[in-house]
Amino acid sequence: MIYEALQLAGILAFALSGALVGVRRNLDILGVVVVGAATGTGGGILRDILLGVHPPVSFLHWPNLVVAVAGSLVVFFVHPRLTRIRRFEVVFDAFGLGLFSANGAALALASGQAPITSVLVGTIAAIGGGVIRDVLVDTVPGVLTRELYAVSALLGAGLAVAVVALGGGVIAGSLVGGTTAIVLRLTSVARGWHLPRPKFAPETGKASPDAP
């Protein structure tokens, strides 16, 4: 039951982040629900497709969908002013990221996958929902540009696998890995930590456009 609660908490956090993006983009109520539900359940669906679980759990297990849709509806009706929405997006996204990475990895290992597979599946589950959200609203996904985003997911998944491999159980692994990922991600945002960028000669310091 704790495990189920962690799972639903991750879905809710991502659904809230997706619905907030939908509100910011001025989508209608169903557009907000579609982005929210796709963000909340998308990472888990990707995980299930990769592991060969048919149909994906979220297509069968109605609480997942109810949580994602209800969270999106709440955001549609009750949301912060436009200028403050981004802050909430980042926080909910960080919670989704941590919960999914650790949980997905711990679960994959416990179900008999190899450690490397488990870490990768957890990471994909964590970043997948956000990538779906960002591709849907036609933005470069945050995983490519945000502070320590993928690092946090990898670390959370890796720690969770380590805890489970050492006999700590899925729930302990999810909590240790998830908390670490959330704290690292939010700290990196607060402090503005970035990884190094490529070096160019002075006149080319900006990204070039994509004209062919």
Closest to its own copies by CB, 68 vs 175, is: 68
For its own copies, the binding residues in 77-96 under the rule CB under 8 A are 79, 81-83
Q: Which is nearer to its own copies, 54 or 167 (CB)?
A: 54
Does 202 contact its own copies by CB under 8 A?
A: no
Q: Which is nearer to its own copies, 117 or 179 (CB)?
A: 117
Identify which range of 56-64, 98-106, 166-174, 176-184 contacts its own copies by CB under 8 A.
56-64
DSSP letters, the chain, are -HHHHHHHHHHHHHHHHHHHHHHHTT--HHHHHHHHHHHHHHHHHHHHHHHT-SS-GGGT-HHHHHHHHHHHHHHHHS---HHHHHHHHHHHHHHHHHHHHHHHHHHHHHTT--HHHHHHHHHHHHHHHHHHHHHHTT---HHHHSTTHHHHHHHHHHHHHHHHHTT-HHHHHHHHHHHHHHHHHHHHHHHT---------GGG-SPPP---
Instruction: List binders of its own copies among 155-174 (CB under 8 A).
Output: none
- Which residues form the interface with its own copies (CB under 8 A)? 22-32, 34-35, 45, 49-52, 54-56, 59-60, 62, 65, 76, 79, 81-83, 113-114, 116-117, 120-121, 131, 135-141, 143-146, 148-151, 194-198, 200-201, 204, 206-208, 210, 212
